[in-house]
Amino acid sequence: MRMYQFSAGLMALAIANGTSANAQEQRPEAAAADASNDSNDIVVTARRRDESIVDVPVSVTAVSGDQLQRANISSAADLARVAPEVRTYPVQGRQSTISFIIRGQIETSGLPTADPAVGLYFAEAVQARPQGSGKLFYDLNSIQVVSGPQGTLFGRNHTGGAILISPQAPKLGEVEGYAQAIYGNYDRREFQGALNLPLGDKVALRLAGNLTRRDGWLTNLVTGNELRTDHTDSFRASLLVEPSDQFRNVTIFDGFKGRSNDGGVTVIAVNPAINSPVNPLAVRLAALAAQQADRRRVAQFNDAPSRSSNYGVTNTSTLELGGVTLKNIFNYRWIRSDDTADAGLPINTLVQRVKVDAEQMSNEFQVSGTTLDERLDYIAGAYFFWEKATSTTFNSVFGSPFLVSPRDRATNESKSVFAQVDYHLNDKLSVTAGARYTIDDRGVYQYAESAPGVVSLNASKSATFKKPTWTLSLNYKPNEDTLLYVTNRRGYRSGGFNGGATTPATFTALRPEILTDYEAGFKTQGRLGDMRYRASLSAFHSVYDDIQRNVLTVLGTVPVRTLFNAAKARINGGQAELFVSPVRAIELTGFVGYTDAKYKEFNDGTLTGLPPFAYTPKWNYRFSGRVILPVSDDVGELSAQADYFHTSSVIRQDRPPFPGERIPGYGLLSGRITLDRIGGSNLRVSVFGTNLTNKTYYSAAQAFYTLPFGGLTGGVLGDPRMYGVEVGYRF
């Protein structure tokens, strides 16, 4: 109730005091323009309003829905292949639960007692927990990746960045949509489509969905079952009500339900110092030899079943009054997941089951417009977030009864107010200033067992964290299509609690993370004769204090995750992106990202040195080329695209790596050939492939090398060569 009263009061105040001219309408369907059309401009919402990408003084990558399809990007796990400085991480090896890393900012536990470093926003509303986030990529308008601390305009402060997913919005007065089907190897069957229906002159409904069925590409020799299967159902229903030019309301109901056998933790290295009757060295050496001989056949104690569901409703209302735009974004989301995994051995050394039950609600109210003879653009507002979540971990070591280790029942509440202005000093020079003040209230009840019926932790904690954050930048535009900028930003990630604690001594509170960022950048776009081009270049320096880090340790024989304030650090890096189309039939795209992250101080109670940052590649880059081949218009439009993506090596944890814990770098080659508008119709046929060279690589590693129930390092294999045929029809 407080949330509604809070927003209603702000809206009334804005209506009473709104006095500006020429409001900018903020519509969530504003998107990245497809590079294949004649327009060279890209519209983004990285500052919560529609702007050309060359007007935005931050590093932002925008990819349209069509570009995602041509690059064979079908899930959140693939996003790193089209965005610099991004890496994805399957949380505890689960393919539908994805954590994002940008500029070295990471949170891998997925527990509700701490917040992610990179925010995932769907239809402008944050999804606080990663469960079920992997299958949002269908019927999209665009995806935008905003790099660096987001402490002013986004509702949940994020030190690493934000990923903005914009679904296609309903359209008034049009019956249109598409349908497509995919058949691929491993018996992949995928059906996707959308239908836009006008319901009178003022109302429209858009229905969209995606169903995927795919056999596993790994075989578990212990059970005989397939691993890394995919069985997911996703749907979306969006209702637009636009009774006048001044008012617009969009309600989106979305849902996801998935089940799979995940697994696929293959043995990379074996610790010869661990040898016991319940964990024989010979068994691990045999598993290593067998998996080196055949990476598509593994032997693990269980099939790592995973079940998850994610349902949400988002309502966005926009009202224009006398040159002021008022906007309200409400969201409710309900998440369930149940995942089981083991150490990746054919014997019962460790079985871990994690169940999550979470619900969240948020409301954001904005006032925006332009005033002072269009010299001042402003946005201000208030934000409220509430979350209640339970995460329970069950552990069985060497066949012992399952222990609760631990159960977290967390309640999180965040309130903030914010404002940002852009003041144009003259036609070429402007300044940006923004600030946010956030109050986070967190509470948790934590329970754990050391033996069946023996309680080792039964306690509650609560804390309040308050921080100001800001954005300052100086922007220079020598012409309409060029921008130079320097910016300073402060980001903040709320404090919390060690959700992996199993004893009172380890049940500790976390201080907030603080990241101060300095960035300089250059953007330009235009034409040289018939050649279109777009380029951006940025460099940054970040100062990072009270870093929250998550490590896996053992208490007795029970594995626990410890979250603590580890360090101070500095991060330097940059990114460059280039698009060139020398003629309309040829498009060349590329990017390079560089991140050099170094700890200045680090203390987890055991380390004496300064480790590298976990899951932070120093380099990643992409080269892509698309060509429209000359064929008769009676045949259609024939095009071919090839993509090559490379990322350098990373380590598994923030400490000197044990054998196998340095994950090698890898490169992936993908391609697609499409015949569109076949015979003048709206029919399209494509053949596609990802990882065409069938590269063996690892997306993550399991750090069990020194643990008595492990004695190995396990690698989570990335997808092998995937290929198929896609048939689509637009209407």
Q: Of 122, 158, 163, give the one whose Cα is nearest residue 145.
A: 163
Provide, rounded to the nearest whole percent, the portion of the chain with pLDDT above 70: 91
Tokens for 227? 């691993």
Contact 79, 161 (CB under 8 A): no
Q: Which of 12, 7, 16 is nearest to 322 (CA)?
A: 16
Check pLDDT > 60 for residue 299: yes
- Give dist(CA 674, CA 642) in Å, integer: 12
Task: Report whether pLDDT(39) > 70.
Answer: no
pLDDT band at 266 (very low <50, low <70, confident <90, very high): confident
The pLDDT tens digits of the residues spanning 56-97 come to 999 999 999 999 999 999 888 888 999 998 888 777 656 667
pLDDT digits (tens, 9 = 90+) for 208-259: 999 999 999 999 999 999 999 999 999 999 999 999 999 999 999 999 999 9
The answer, yes or no, to whether the previous bond of 149 is cis (omega within 30 of 0) is no
Give me the pLDDT at residue 264, please.
Answer: 79
CB neighbour burial string for 376-411, b if at least 16 within 10 angstroms, e if fewer: ebbbbbbbbbbbbbebbbbbbbbeeeebbbbbbbbe
- Strand, coil or helix: 282: helix
Tens-place pLDDT, residues 122-138: 999 999 887 777 678 89
In this prediction, residue 559 carries a pLDDT of 62
Angle at 609 between CA 603 and CA 613, to 5 degrees: 75
Q: Encode pLDDT of 515-565 as tens digits.
A: 999 999 999 999 999 999 999 999 999 999 988 877 666 666 556 667 778
Of the candidates 506, 483, 393, 351, the residue with the CA atom closest to the CA atom of residue 430? 483
Query: How far, rounded to the nearest angstrom, does the alpha carbon of residue 550 sit from its chain's CA centroid?
Result: 19
- Asked whether 687 and 709 are in contact (CB, 8 A), the reply is no
* Mean pLDDT of the region 393-412: 92
Q: What is the pLDDT of residue 108?
A: 62
For CA atoms 471, 110, 416, 250, the dihedral sign is positive
Q: Are strands 376-397 and 403-424 parallel, antiparallel or unpaired?
A: antiparallel
Q: Locate tokens 């990476």: which residue?
A: 295
- What's the pLDDT at 320? 95
pLDDT (average), residues 448-463: 92
For the ranges 51-55, 270-274, 278-282, 288-292, which has the lowest average pLDDT?
A: 288-292
Q: What is the pLDDT of residue 655?
A: 79
Query: Which pLDDT score, from 0 to 100, does residue 608 have?
Result: 61
Residue with tokens 């020079």: 429
Cα–Cα distance, 708 to 232 (Å, whole number) = 36
DSSP codes, 364-382: EEEEEEEETTTTEEEEEEE
User: Residue 417: how many CB atoms within 10 A of its CB?
Assistant: 16
Question: Collapsing DSSP states into helix, strand and coil, what is residue 9?
Answer: helix
In terms of Cβ atoms closer than 10 Å to its own Cβ (0-12, 13-18, 19+), residue 39 is exposed
pLDDT at residue number 111 = 79
Q: What is the pLDDT of residue 169?
A: 96
pLDDT digits (tens, 9 = 90+) for 640-671: 999 999 999 999 888 788 899 899 999 999 99
Kind plus residue range of the DSSP H or E element containing 203: strand 203-214
Mean pLDDT of 381-400: 94
Of 38-47, 468-477, 707-716, highest mean pLDDT: 468-477
In whole angstroms, give the CA distance from residue 255 to residue 240.
18
- Provide the pLDDT confidence category of residue 365 given band limits of 50, 70 and 90: very high
Range 161-173 average pLDDT: 95
Q: Rounded CA gap, 153 and 485, in Å? A: 18
Centre a 10 Å sphere on the Cβ of residue 621 and count the other Cβ atoms it contains. Answer: 18
Q: What is the DSSP letter of 78?
A: G
**Tokens at 176, concatenated:** 């249109």
Q: Say whether pLDDT at 298 is over 70.
A: yes
Angstrom distance (rounded) from CA 309 to CA 401: 28
Predicted confidence (pLDDT) per residue in 592-632, tens digit: 999 999 988 887 666 667 778 888 999 999 999 999 999 99
Q: What's the whole-number mean pLDDT along residues 333-351?
A: 91
Neighbour tally for 633: CB within 10 Å: 9
Mean pLDDT score across all residues of the chain: 89
Q: Which residues contact 169 (CB under 8 A, 6 or more apart)?
A: 27, 28, 29, 141, 206, 238, 240, 250
**Residues whose CB is less than 8 angstroms from the CB of residue 12 and which lie 6 or more positions away in sequence, other chains included:** none
What is the per-residue pLDDT for 156? 80
Q: From the CB of residue 188, how many other CB atoms can be counted at a distance below 10 Å?
A: 17
pLDDT digits (tens, 9 = 90+) for 325-335: 999 999 999 99
Amino acid identity at 229: T
